[in-house]
Structure 1
Amino acid sequence: MENSDQRQTIATAINHSTVRRRPTATSAGRLYNSPESTDSSGEDLVKDSGSDDFMDTVDSAVAYSQPPQKHETATSNLEFAYRPSVPAHRRVKESPLSSDSIFRQSHAGLFNLCIVVLVAVNSRLIIENLMKYGLLIKSGFWFSSSSLSDWPLFMCCLSLVVFPFTAFIVEKLAQWKCIPESVVVLLHIIITSASVLYPVLVILRCDSAFVSGVTLMLFSCVVWLKLVSYAHTNYDMRQLTKSIEKGEAVPNTVNMEYPYSVRFKSLAYFMVAPTLCYQLSYPRTPYIRKGWVFRQLVKLIVFTGVMGFIIEQYINPIVQNSQHPFKGDLLYAIERVLKLSVPNLYVWLCMFYCFFHLWLNILAELLRFGDREFYKDWWNAKTVEDYWRMWNMPVHKWMIRHLYFPCLRHGIPKAVALLIAFLVSALFHELCIAVPCHIFKLWAFGGIMFQVPLVLITHYLQEKFRNSMVGNMIFWFIFSILGQPMCVLLYYHDLMNRKSKLDQS
């Protein structure tokens, strides 16, 4: 009898502590003295009873159980809750920072730590910079009288409206069948080429400020992209109209009105809309949120000021006190690039936020433009190809619609079509930077074309290491640590050398 009673006591203790049984309301739910936690708390208690933090749960349960009789009941049940004979390890578990579970964990605490470290580090850099250089912001930070010398560029920018109007006339003549299709294509080639070459000639003939030249080149490139889309889309609609007249089937994905018509109102809206792809109608929002627009304008002014402050106070002293990265001491050049990478990254992020989020959304709201997907989560890009596909959606949609797929439809292989897309992007990057600097060293062109092997490398790493962020790390390192700071130093020193030669002559 004594042995049987002892066995019964051990069995009772195991029943109270084992993980395979659901605890009763007395052993689990009453610990918290809450009717809402009777079932769920009991399940959590059983699930966690084999972990190291189970005793913390038990202690808190005992401490917060207010009625004395329930406290005694809980204490008596806890006598068998964590016996030495109960297994402490019951399941296969990964460490929270292991590669298999790191992306399933919450990293809010580490994110807060990064913010604290960034604030501390940048506070020290701000104090060090002010002690070393003083306040470098001048009275002409926003506007100076020297800006008036760039009036030829401003007039050139205003005169760019001539090219869309000329393209409209050509399309109207094509609709009336006054000129053959070959002449239409030739005229559009002349118009689009002139829309880029004309600003280039104006900038090269005028010794204007770099910012003014970049702004004009960006406007002219946008006009070129829009005019190409306008001509290509109208050409395709004329071909579809001919197919309809012949009684041929038209794909259901095509959304066009018949008969096909060219309207100046559609072109005018397209030229100011935040898109590079022409179509007869766009999704529209019902009304304009004026208060929202005002808040976004305030943000735009603030972040533009922050961007200008970082350039004047941090980037300029660094580049002025640096040597040419390809000349002199290698370690010194690396130190300059790394020192420049942090403020350059801040400026680049501010530029992206100001243009792609604030300005394009403001423009879309004023025009009631519905499709606001101007970018995707490019910061999570696992390959360089993903980054270029997500960070600038207007250009990406233009490339897909008017360059990449037309190449594929003409039998060009995918790899060659991708190379052509990067080639066009590299040419426009070179124009937007080299022309305002009056320097043609192909640094920007080479930097963009260098992305082609990076696409292959990061794609290979993504295929080899599934669900990894190796490609994302390479992307951030190339763009923020190595690529952009290196280009800034290269163009700055070439620009300084050009100015010194002009002064000597």
Structure 2
Amino acid sequence: CHRVQESLLSSSSGFSNYRGILNWCVIMLVLSNARLFLENLIKYGILVDPIQVVSLFLKDPYSWPALCLIIVSNVFILAALHIERRLAMETISEKVGTLLHTLNLTSILCFPVVVVLVVQSITPVGSTFTLGIHTILFLKLFSYRDVNKWCRELRQRKAQTLKRSHSYCQPSTLIHPSTSSWCGMYYFVFAPTLCYELNFPRSPRIRKRFLLRRLFEMLFFMQLLVGLIQQWMVPTIQNSMKPFKDMNYSRIIERLLKLAVSIRLLFLFIPFYFLNRKKANVVSNLMQVKLINFYFSLRNSETVTYFWQNWNIPVHRWCIRHFYKPMLKRGVKKGMAQTAVFFASAFFHEYLVSVPLKMFRLWAFMGMMAQLPLAWFVSKFLRGNYGNAAVWISLIIGQPIAVLMYVHDYYILNYEGGERPD
């Protein structure tokens, strides 16, 4: 009886304890990636060159168009501040203010596009960085305009309520902390959030030791990211051009799978977890803003919708506050509002990719819009581990395809018949 009981216990534990299998998978994963690293070093040598990073931002050492565009962005910030001051003092009407804000916000997105397409000395990396700054500024000033408008509407409703109750109300202009000085405006511009608040939660002091640790970690992971891109991704992408040109499907798939491993490590784990989190900690500490949670666990996402909602928390909160909920209040159906949010996200992805490359192939746009039917299918038919597997398959395969498509088209347009791109 004792032996039978031991056998039953061992057989039952064999179906519930997967620790050995998980350890085996982790060891095999480490060994397989170590082999890829070793193969890369043997084949290409050491390709890491910090000086080469500077050339990605500057094509001409005497022409700095990307930096000039960032400096010019102050014009749009001060224009928004001036418009809100006039609206607060009631020297212009709401319709005129809305028109001026619309022109200002449109200029934030259109002006750098014109410069990028016309000026030849600006590089794709410098263009992407500049357009990213202008996109963040667009979202911030949009929130700034909305919140101030909501406050004015609230003040008007309170004034009308007092008039109905025949109470005495002395008229006064509504001047918020941000509209009273440009210091408050720039505080919001540099704050690690896209959603404007009248009063940001403040921390009592700057933690110097914490700040130094976060700065060191951020610089370390930034250098690691650049080194891995130069050593791992660039050779893989360069060697993908000939298979694409010859339409060698087996070699294309091999390049795609090899690139998928590096992209998952470089663009999910390092930038969005370490760099963004450390950067938010550094900026919040310097500005004495209480840090909002910018990161949720994404590895256990069981639906595509949950992953994209928590992929970038500041952007998600902005979309909910200034795009999704206002559409619902206007009577738009929930499904249409979600589709509109995906459409806006796809537009900005295409904006940040196609414009710097000076070609419009819509791969990023179509990739983001393809998430809609995938999200519906996963939420409808797949649950638990199956849903999580579907999320990871879409991410691991989808982004490398888009990267190779853009690089291939850029190579054909700019380097076909000439030297290979750096």
The TM-score with structure 1 as length reference comes to 0.74
Q: Show CA shifts across 1:126-159 (max 9, x none).
A: 2211111112223624435747365011111111
The corresponding residue for 1:287 is 205
The corresponding residue for 1:495 is 410
* Contact preservation (8 Å) 1:361, 1:372: no
Q: Show CA shifts across 1:314-349 (max 9, x none).
A: 111111111465971333222111111111111112
* 1:125 maps onto 2:41 in alignment: no
* Contact preservation (8 Å) 2:263, 2:400: yes
User: Mapping of 1:285-364 within 5 angstroms?
Assistant: 285-323=203-241, 328-348=247-267, 349-364=269-284
* Contact preservation (8 Å) 1:407, 1:417: yes
SS in structure 1 at match of 2:91: coil
Note the C-alpha offset of 1:267: 2.0
User: Mapping of 1:120-159 within 5 angstroms?
Assistant: 120-138=31-49, 140-144=51-55, 146=59, 148=61, 151-159=64-72
User: Mapping of 1:167-182 within 5 angstroms?
Assistant: 167-182=80-95
The corresponding residue for 1:388 is 308
User: Mapping of 1:53-132 within 5 angstroms?
Assistant: 97=15, 112-132=23-43
Match of 1:226 among 131, 140, 164: 140
Distance 2:149 2:289 in 1: 25
Note the C-alpha offset of 1:209: 2.2
SS in structure 2 at match of 1:382: coil
Distance 1:478 1:447 in 2: 10
Distance 1:152 1:406 in 2: 37
SS in structure 2 at match of 1:52: helix
* 1:478 maps onto 2:394 in alignment: yes
Note the C-alpha offset of 1:97: 4.9
The TM-score with structure 2 as length reference comes to 0.88
Distance 2:3 2:361 in 1: 68
Q: Residues 485 and 171 from structure 1, CA distance in 2 versus in 1: closer, same or farther, beyond 3 angstroms?
A: same
* 1:447 maps onto 2:367 in alignment: yes
* Contact preservation (8 Å) 1:383, 1:459: yes
Q: How many percent identity over aligned positions? A: 32
Q: RMSD value over aligned CA atoms? A: 2.8
Distance 2:59 2:123 in 1: 9
* Contact preservation (8 Å) 2:152, 2:174: no
- Larger displacement relative to structure 2 (193-202 or 205-214): 205-214
Q: Show CA shifts across 1:60-90 (max 9, x none).
A: xxxxxxxxxxxxxxxxxxxxxxxxxxxx78x
Letter in 2 for 1:281: N
Note the C-alpha offset of 1:116: 2.8
Note the C-alpha offset of 1:396: 0.4
* Contact preservation (8 Å) 1:374, 1:393: yes
Q: Residues 388 and 147 from structure 1, CA distance in 2 versus in 1: closer, same or farther, beyond 3 angstroms?
A: farther
SS in structure 1 at match of 2:61: helix
The corresponding residue for 2:166 is none
* 1:164 maps onto 2:92 in alignment: no
- Larger displacement relative to structure 2 (387-396 or 328-337): 328-337
| Long gaps (5+) in structure 2 | 163-172
Note the C-alpha offset of 1:302: 1.6
Distance 1:122 1:147 in 2: 38
Match of 1:241 among 151, 155, 172: 155
The corresponding residue for 1:85 is none
SS in structure 1 at match of 2:54: coil
- Larger displacement relative to structure 2 (273-282 or 326-335): 326-335
Q: Residues 373 and 49 from structure 1, CA distance in 2 versus in 1: closer, same or farther, beyond 3 angstroms?
A: farther
The corresponding residue for 2:165 is none
- Larger displacement relative to structure 2 (487-496 or 138-147): 138-147
Note the C-alpha offset of 1:163: 0.7
Higher relative contact order (CA 8 A, sep 6+): 2
Letter in 1 for 2:159: E
The corresponding residue for 2:333 is 413
Looking at secondary structure, tell me which structure has more helix per residue.
Answer: 2
Q: Residues 232 and 97 from structure 1, CA distance in 2 versus in 1: closer, same or farther, beyond 3 angstroms?
A: farther
Distance 2:300 2:13 in 1: 23
Note the C-alpha offset of 1:503: 6.3
Q: Show CA shifts across 1:22-80 (max 9, x none).
A: xxxxxxxxxxxxxxxxxxxxxxxxxx999528xxxxxxxxxxxxxxxxxxxxxxxxxxx
Match of 1:202 among 90, 115, 131: 115
User: Mapping of 1:186-197 within 5 angstroms?
Assistant: 186-197=99-110
SS in structure 2 at match of 1:140: helix
* Contact preservation (8 Å) 2:296, 2:310: yes
SS in structure 2 at match of 1:148: coil
Distance 1:224 1:372 in 2: 21
SS in structure 1 at match of 2:299: helix
Distance 1:159 1:110 in 2: 57
* 1:269 maps onto 2:180 in alignment: no
User: Mapping of 1:32-51 within 5 angstroms?
Assistant: 51=5
Q: Residues 164 and 495 from structure 1, CA distance in 2 versus in 1: closer, same or farther, beyond 3 angstroms?
A: same
Distance 1:174 1:319 in 2: 52
Aligned length: 402
The corresponding residue for 2:168 is none
SS in structure 2 at match of 1:224: helix
Q: Residues 203 and 97 from structure 1, CA distance in 2 versus in 1: closer, same or farther, beyond 3 angstroms?
A: farther
* Contact preservation (8 Å) 1:192, 1:228: yes
Q: Residues 408 and 173 from structure 1, CA distance in 2 versus in 1: closer, same or farther, beyond 3 angstroms?
A: same
Note the C-alpha offset of 1:202: 1.5
The corresponding residue for 2:352 is 432
* Contact preservation (8 Å) 2:346, 2:366: yes
